[in-house]
Amino acid sequence: MKNIKKTINGISRRGFTLIELLIFSAIFTVISVTFIAILISVTRVHVRESSNAEVNRQSQFLIHTIQRNIEESSLIDIEVDPVTGTKTTSTLVLRMPASSDDPSNFARTYIYASSGIAYIKTKDNGAPEPLSTGRVKIDSLIFTKRSNPPGHDSVDISLSISYNTDNIQKKFAQVIKTSVARVNAATFDSNLIPASTTDLVIGTAAVEWRSINGTINFKEEAEGNYLRVGINQANPTYRLDIFTLPTQSDDGGLRVVGTSTFSNNVIIGPGSVKLLNTTAPSCAVAADVGAIFLTTNSGKSYLKFCTWDTVPPAGFRWLYLTATSSPSY
């Protein structure tokens, strides 16, 4: 097809035929439609990525907040099933350590979801604070406590979160499942009372307590046959080792008082408390003062105790207490 040639005012000009215009229009339309389709696709991806980023940001903040509170708690205050050792709930209750400002103030922390928003409440009568915004929706927030003696308890977290929109192009949802263990030692703000009158014990033969308040201490013998008990003695050297510092106001380390008569006081002998030892324990340093043992010699019994003797030469030595006849009352 040849271009149409016209001569106007002596100047030769070329034009386009109708078919050439139609071909040009078709090519332009195809390019325009392709460009618009690409632009729409890019816009949709951007919108979806924006929704994705918002959901990820808020879900990570929520999970990290829950994780931090569980790790810092002194007790996961959820009663578990005694058989399965687990309990599933929609409200996480944590007992937090006492604050430095008020050591007697133990606070409970509550974490839960309501009407699509996650909340945290740091006091029983406190106001809940949101952990998420209205841009996302908390579809589900479930906690499962797992009791793991002798280890620390843990919490399984199941979170379902979505972008809060009616626009199908912006819809994005995410499900997160994780588990967090408590790392702090348990603390209590009330008496430790057994749940029933059944014989209950603290500790077991395999998992033993080593100290109570840093005052009563337990040490296992190398043979593992028995424990040594120390009072104010972190490393007891005797079956019962009571230590009183010279600077303390009390005069003695052990006192046993009867209820009415002398016969109700301490009895040392067969059928009761025996302090029988064939070899005298050490009596050489201040930590040995107060040690008592009972020995026999030539049919006689001797009660001896370790003390500091000022009679020259002064030093640590055993004093003998020998009964030649029964006391009269």
**Quick one: tokens of 183?**
């790392």
pLDDT of residue 260: 41
* pLDDT < 50 stretches in the chain: 1-4, 101-104, 251, 256-274, 276, 324-329
Which H or E element spans position 44? helix 18-72
Q: Are 230 and 219 in contact (CB under 8 A)?
A: yes
Q: Write phi, then psi, for 25 (nearest 5 degrees).
A: -60, -40
Domain boundaries, the chain: 24-181, 204-258, 267-323
Q: Determine the distance from the C-alpha atom of residue 39 to the mean position of all C-alpha atoms in its chain, rounded to a whole number.
A: 52
CA-CA-CA-CA dihedral for 288, 290, 293, 297, to nearest 10:
90
303 - beta bridge partners? 294, 321
Alpha carbons 121 and 127: distance in angstroms, whole number: 6
| Burial of 72: CB neighbours in 10 Å, binned 0-12, 13-18, 19+ | middle
Alpha carbons 117 and 242: distance in angstroms, whole number: 58
pLDDT of residue 103: 47
pLDDT in tens, 39-50: 777 777 766 778
pLDDT in tens, 199-216: 777 776 666 778 888 888
**Cα distances (Å, whole numbers) of residue 310 to 4, 307, 321:** 140, 10, 18
Rounded to two decimals, the pTM is 0.52
pLDDT of residue 27: 86
pLDDT of residue 327: 41
List of long-range contacts for 133-137, beta carbons under 8 Å, 24+ apart: 133/58, 134/164, 135/54, 135/58, 135/163, 135/164, 136/54, 136/55, 136/58, 136/59, 136/161, 136/162, 136/163, 136/164, 137/161, 137/162, 137/163, 137/164
Pairing label, strands 216-220, 227-231: antiparallel
Q: Are 154 and 148 in contact (CB under 8 A)?
A: yes
**Cα distances (Å, whole numbers) of residue 129 to 72, 112, 180, 232:** 19, 11, 22, 47
Q: Are 168 and 144 in contact (CB under 8 A)?
A: no
